[in-house]
């Protein structure tokens, strides 16, 4: 069965650069969630989208933005990268907002 796809798998950037992470939900899933997991920490909820509209907002920095496109894939744009942005970024999708979230494999971002 198709799973959540995230790209790239690994990304290395320097401080003050920008990065774009992509998430492709499971087909027919209309809700996408973004999480940030720092080393040894729980995943922190960043933002979610339902039917291409932002549905909830968590601890997403102002330097980050995200959107969900007409094909339901989502992109997380990160600007003015800081060392503290180094983390594993997970995307999850669900077929309906209160339903089970299916997690992608994550994108590991390293900021040097």
State the number of binding residues for other proteins (CB under 8 A): 20
Q: Maximum Cα–Cα distance for the chain, whole Å? A: 39
The binder of other proteins chosen from 12, 27, 58, 82 (CB under 8 A): 58
Ranges within 22-51 binding other proteins (CB under 8 A): 33, 35, 37, 42-45
**∠ CA 62-68-70, rounded to 5°:** 150
Of 61 and 105, nearer to other proteins (C-beta) is 105
Q: Does 88 bind other proteins (CB under 8 A)?
A: yes
Q: What is the DSSP string of 12-42?
A: EE-TT--EEEEEEPPTT--EEEEEEE-TTS-
Q: Does 105 bind other proteins (CB under 8 A)?
A: yes
Q: Does 108 bind other proteins (CB under 8 A)?
A: yes
Identify the three-state secondary structure at position 84.
Answer: helix
Whether residue 72 has a cis bond before it, omega within 30° of 0 = no
Q: Does 5 bind other proteins (CB under 8 A)?
A: no
Identify the three-state secondary structure at position 55.
Answer: strand
Of 33 and 72, nearer to other proteins (C-beta) is 33
Give the interface with other proteins as residue ranges (CB under 8 A): 9-10, 33, 35, 37, 42-45, 56, 58, 88, 90, 100-103, 105-106, 108
């Amino acid at each position: 069965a198709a799973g959540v796809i995230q790209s790239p798998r690994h990304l290395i950037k320097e401080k003050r650069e920008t990065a774009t992470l992509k998430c492709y939900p499971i087909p027919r899933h209309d809700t996408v969630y973004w999480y940030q997991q720092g080393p040894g920490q729980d995943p922190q909820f960043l933002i979610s989208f339902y039917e291409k509209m932002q549905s909830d907002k968590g601890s997403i920095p102002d330097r980050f933005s995200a959107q969900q496109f007409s094909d339901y894939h989502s992109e997380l744009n990160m600007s003015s990268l800081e060392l503290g942005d180094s983390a594993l970024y997970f995307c999850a999708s669900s077929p309906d907002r209160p339903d089970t979230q299916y997690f992608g494999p994550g994108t590991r971002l390293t900021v040097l």
